[in-house]
Amino acid sequence: MTYCVGLLLDEGIVLLSDTRTNAGLDNIATYRKMFTFEEPGERVITILTAGSLSVTQTTLARLNDEIRDPNADETSSIMKAPTMLKVAEMIGAMLARVRAEVDEKLSMAQGASASLIVAGQRAGGEMRLFLIYPEGNFIEATEDTPFLQIGEHKYGKPILDRVVKRSTSLAEAQKAVLLSMDSTLRSNLSVGMPLDLAVIRKDDCRVSERRRIEAGDEQFRAMSEAWSRALRDGFSQIAL
Binding positions for a second copy, rule: CB under 8 A: 154-155, 157-159, 161-163, 171-172, 174-176, 178-179, 183, 186-187, 219, 222-223, 226-228, 230-240
Ordered DSSP codes for 4-32: EEEEE-SSEEEEEE--EEESSTT-EEE--
CA separation for the pair 187, 127 (Å, rounded): 32
Any alpha helices (H) in the chain, and if so which ranges?
A: 53-68, 84-105, 157-163, 170-187, 218-237
Taking the least distance from each CB to a second copy, the nearer of 31 and 227 is 227
* Pairwise CA distance, residues 237 & 133, whole Å: 42
**Residue 198 C-beta: closest distance to a second copy, Å:** 15
Q: How far is the CB of 50 from a second copy (least distance, A)?
A: 15
- For a second copy, give the closer residue by CB, 37 or 155: 155
In this structure, which amino acid lies at residue 164? V
> Whole-number minimum distance, CB 92 to a second copy, in Å?
26
Query: Of the two residues 7 and 159, which places its CB atom closer to a second copy in the complex?
Result: 159
Residue 120: strand, helix, or coil: strand
Q: How far is the CB of 171 from a second copy (least distance, A)?
A: 6
Smallest distance from a second copy to CB 178, Å = 8
For residues 45 and 198, which CB has a smaller minimum distance to a second copy in the complex? 198
> CA 68 → CA 73, 96, 118, 210, distances in Å?
11, 21, 20, 24
Q: Which of 100, 120, 90 is nearest to 52 (CA)?
A: 100
Q: Residue 110 gets which letter from DSSP? A: G
Between 94 and 179, name the residue whose CB sits nearer to a second copy. Answer: 179
In terms of residues, how long is the chain? 240
Supply the minimum distance, in Å, between the C-beta of residue 94 and a second copy.
Answer: 30
Between 32 and 232, name the residue whose CB sits nearer to a second copy: 232
